[in-house]
Amino acid sequence: MVSTTYFAPRIIHGAGSIDKLDEACRAIRTTSLFVMLSERTKQSLANHFEQLTANGISLHFFTDFQSEPTTDHLQSALHHFELSKADGILAIGGGTALDLAKALSVLAANETLTLGDIAQQEQLDKIPLIAVPTTAGTGSEVTKVTVITDTALKRKLNPGHPALIPDGVLLDPELTLSMSPKITAETGLDALAHAIEAYVSTRATAISDTFALEAIRSIGRSIRAAYQEPQNLQARDGMLQGSMFAGLAFSNSSTNLAHATARPLGTRFLLPHGLSVALMHPYVVAFGLDAAHDRYAAIADALGTESVLVFIEELNVLFELKEEAKKLLDLDELERSIPILVDDALSGNGIETNRKIPTRQDITEIYKNLVTDLMGE
């Protein structure tokens, strides 16, 4: 099989690497930077921004977005970017800031295109982009995918194109120390799912496998400590590196059924992405185990466990994910919505690349099992 692998061109990594922000900006030759971040991050990194200004880079801040990026946020960002006349983009934050910035970097340079057109283009111009994740994470800083909810269609769009890969990445685990245990758990399990799904995907390659197994090892040995000891810098670094490797893995392979079944929970029930994926993942592993025995054995080995399924189920219990889901979901409504969720799952990515291709009935069973378990809790 012939495959093409895409990397991020420049990754500056290590505790305190945010001090290299100036170097990252020089590398993309920007003199006017459009900065996407939360108000809180803006305050906490104020001295770094003063430094950039002192070095002759003018800054235009954009903070007008919330969790889970939408086409409305993107329109607003495009509008403000045009007004700013900036020549570079810096995104500092979780998956929301990064995914919006990636879409912006391509659409701002291709005014006639929409999000839905990106994947079909051969070559795309772009505004240079630096990505600085503050969560671990989506791995969005190194992937060629952006996930944005189309508010009109009520569907998550996830176009992929190499032009969406950020040009510079700063991976500083100190920026992730303030993640709450809940976010650490949910986004950490999402990252683990990225690596596991990439590894069992029919699109996996020898290169994506290497990233996936390293991600699984790194996250497997760090996730409990990062959750239980928020200030453990080594564990935070393990999670940040792990989510980056997981990003490289799935960006060059694919995510599969856990993501396909999780996406509708986000669009229809506004359940956070990480929580949705973490909830669905055990059912999907149980469904696919018999079709990829060797692959799951290698994953178990990387996790240092006998059973992948037991490992992730135990984490879901430790992190109290079902309790959290029950707070956010109307279970009767969820049960009634199963046919719609199945339609949504079947129409998204990750079905054809699943090692065992699920039927409509299989996906219905997976959602039913989820509802039964949540009702039984």
Q: Which stretch binds Zn ion (CB under 5 A): 40-48, 183-191, 197-205, 325-333?
A: 183-191
Question: Any alpha helices (H) in 229-319, and if so which ranges?
Answer: 233-251, 257-269, 273-288, 293-303, 308-318
Give the list of residues 6+ apart from residue 317 with CB closer than 8 angstroms, or none: none
Q: How many CA atoms lie within 13 A of 221 on its CB side?
A: 13
Whichever of 21 and 193 has its CB closer to Zn ion, that residue is: 193
Determine the 3-state secondary structure of 243 from DSSP.
helix
CA distances from 271 to 3, 104, 106, 318, 325 (A): 34, 24, 28, 19, 8
Minimum CB–partner distance for residue 100 and Zn ion (Å) = 16
Minimum CB–partner distance for residue 60 and Zn ion (Å) = 30
Compute how many residues bind Zn ion; rule: CB under 5 A: 2
Q: Which stretch binds Zn ion (CB under 5 A): 45-53, 190-198, 325-333, 367-375?
A: 190-198
d(CA 229, CA 227): 6
The alpha carbon of residue 330 and the mean position of all alpha carbons in its chain are separated, in whole angstroms, by 25
Whichever of 190 and 344 has its CB closer to Zn ion, that residue is: 190
Minimum CB–partner distance for residue 334 and Zn ion (Å) = 20
Question: Any alpha helices (H) in the chain, and if so which ranges?
Answer: 21-27, 39-44, 46-54, 71-84, 95-107, 181-200, 206-228, 233-251, 257-269, 273-288, 293-303, 308-318, 321-328, 331-336, 338-347, 360-376
Q: Which stretch binds Zn ion (CB under 5 A): 27-35, 96-104, 110-118, 187-195?
A: 187-195
Closest CA to 210 of 162, 256, 165, 248: 248
Q: Which one among 167, 190, 197, 214 touches Zn ion, defined by CB under 5 A?
A: 190
- Asked whether position 197 contacts Zn ion by CB under 5 A, the answer is no
Minimum CB–partner distance for residue 266 and Zn ion (Å) = 10
Whichever of 277 and 285 has its CB closer to Zn ion, that residue is: 277
245-304 residues near Zn ion, rule: CB under 5 A? 277
Whichever of 168 and 272 has its CB closer to Zn ion, that residue is: 272
Whichever of 163 and 258 has its CB closer to Zn ion, that residue is: 258
Minimum CB–partner distance for residue 259 and Zn ion (Å) = 6
Nearest residue by C-beta to Zn ion?
Answer: 190
Minimum CB–partner distance for residue 186 and Zn ion (Å) = 10
Whichever of 86 and 246 has its CB closer to Zn ion, that residue is: 246
CA distances from 277 to 228, 282, 316, 356 (A): 21, 9, 11, 18
Whichever of 68 and 190 has its CB closer to Zn ion, that residue is: 190
Minimum CB–partner distance for residue 137 and Zn ion (Å) = 9
In the complex, the residues that contact Zn ion under the rule CB under 5 A are 190, 277
